[in-house]
Amino acid sequence: MNLITTNLNKVLNRNVSNPIAFTASDNDNKKEIPVLVPTQNRLKGEDSPVFMYAEVAARLIKAANNSAQSVSELVNKLLFSKLAKVEPEKSVTAEVGKTNVTTLIDGGQIFPKALEWVEGTKKGDCIQIEMFEFQNKDDADKHHPLGGADAVDGSKEQQKLYDTIIKKSKEGVKVQTILDASKWPEDGFGRKEKFYNNLNMVKRLIDAGVDVAIYPRSTQGGTKIQHVKLLAIHSKSTGNKVMIGGENWGNHSPVNHDACVAIETQDKFKGQGSEVDNIIDNVFNKDWKFAWKMMGLYGAMTEKEQHSNLKIIKGILPEAAEYMKVIGEIYNDPKYRERFTKGEFYLPEVKPVKDPAIKVLLNSPVEYKTHGIYDKNMDNESIRTYLLGKKGDKGQEIQGKLNDPNMNYLRAELFVLTHKEVKEKIIERHKSGTLDAKILVSPDLLQKFPYLKPVYQELRKEGVPVEAFKVNEELKQRLHCKWAVLGHKDKDQAEPDKLELLIGSANWSALGLENNNGKGMRKDYVLHNKAILKQIDEKFKKDILTLEKAIKSDPKMDKNMQSIFTNKGLDYNKILENKKALNRKEKELFEQQIELNNTSNDESLKKIRALVGTYHLVEDFVNKKAKYKRGNHECAIVVENQDIAKTFVRQFEKDWEFTINKKEDLAFSANTRKPNCKTQNKFGSQVYTFNKIA
What pLDDT, in 10s, does the model give residues 567-593? 989 999 999 999 999 999 999 999 998
What pLDDT, in 10s, does the model give residues 110-168? 999 999 999 999 999 999 999 999 999 998 888 888 888 888 999 999 999 999 999 99
Asked if residues 691 and 71 have their Cβ atoms less than 8 Å apart, the reply is no
Q: What's the CA gap between 671 and 679, in Å, rounded? A: 18
Does 7 score more than 80 pLDDT?
no
Q: What's the pLDDT score for residue 33?
A: 41
At residue 349, what is the residue type?
E
Asked if residues 23 and 45 have their Cβ atoms less than 8 Å apart, the reply is no
Q: Tell me which DSSP letter residue 199 carries.
A: H
Q: What's the pLDDT score for residue 386?
A: 98
From residue 171, how far is each of 72, 130, 260 by CA, in Å? 55, 21, 28
Does 613 score more than 70 pLDDT?
yes
Provide the residue ranges of all domains of the chain, joining segments of one domain with +. Answer: 1-84+663-694, 93-370, 382-525+638-648, 526-622
Domain at 382-525+638-648: CATH code = 3.30.870
321 or 381, higher pLDDT: 381
**CATH class in words for 93-370:** alpha beta
Burial of 359 (0-12, 13-18, 19+ CB in 10 A): middle
DSSP collapsed to 3 states, 548-566: HHHHHHCCCCCCCCCCCEE
Q: What residues have CB less than 8 Å from 91, skipping those under 6 apart?
A: 102, 103, 104, 105, 109
User: Which SS3 state, helix, strand or coil, does residue 166 take?
Assistant: helix
Asked if residues 205 and 159 have their Cβ atoms less than 8 Å apart, the reply is no
Establish whether domains 93-370 and 382-525+638-648 are of one fold.
Answer: yes
Of 385-389, 542-546, 662-666, minimum mean pLDDT range: 662-666
How many C-beta atoms lie closer than 10 Å to residue 353's C-beta? 18
What pLDDT, in 10s, does the model give residues 165-177? 999 999 999 999 9
Burial of 639 (0-12, 13-18, 19+ CB in 10 A): buried
Does 31 score more than 50 pLDDT?
no
Indicate the pLDDT class of residue 690, thresholds 50, 70 and 90.
very low
DSSP string over 448-481: H-GGGHHHHHHHHHTT--EEE----TTTT--B--
Q: What's the pLDDT score for residue 110?
A: 99
Does 30 score more than 50 pLDDT?
no
Four-point Cα dihedral 213, 225, 645, 250, nearest 10: 70
Asked if residues 212 and 205 have their Cβ atoms less than 8 Å apart, the reply is yes
Indicate the pLDDT class of residue 72, thresholds 50, 70 and 90.
low
Report pTM: 0.84
Backbone phi, psi, residue 458, to 5°: -70, -40
What pLDDT, in 10s, does the model give residues 337-391? 999 999 999 999 999 999 999 999 999 999 999 999 999 999 999 999 999 999 8
Indicate the pLDDT class of residue 555, thresholds 50, 70 and 90.
very high
